[in-house]
Amino acid sequence: MFKGLGQMGDMAKMMKTAKEMQDKVQQLQEDLHEIMVTGESGAGLVKAVASAKGELKSLDIDPSIFDPNEKEVVEDLILAAIKDAQARAAERSQQEMSKITEGLGLPADFKMPF
């Protein structure tokens, strides 16, 4: 008499799981703005702080590197620190997403678009 209800129950469970994942991903998107990572170059002479979303928040440059004859070196160190911070941000973002996907029983390497 209620032959098809088993599939409807599975569908309801799947919809609930999808909604939970959507809510967690949305919360993670907000949290990524608050998680900070630091990239470095020149053995710490230049430090770049970025959010886990990859937005540059600050730069800390040791004054000892300001030599007018070394302008290109300073520029390279700044760029390297920013790139390091962005790489760390991407890695941290993926780590945080993995926590969500694993919690929902999805494969650890499951990629969600951000």
Q: How far apart are CA 19 and CA 35, in angstroms?
A: 24
11: enclosing H helix or E strand = helix 5-32
pTM reported for the whole predicted model: 0.74
What are the tens digits of pLDDT across the range 6-26? 566 688 888 888 888 888 889
What are the tens digits of pLDDT across the range 40-97? 999 999 999 999 999 999 999 999 999 989 999 999 999 999 999 999 999 999 999 8
Q: What are the tokens at 84? A: 């390091």
pLDDT surpassing 50 at residue 1: no
Name the superfamily (CATH) of residues 9-103. Answer: Nucleoid-associated protein YbaB-like domain (3.30.1310.10)
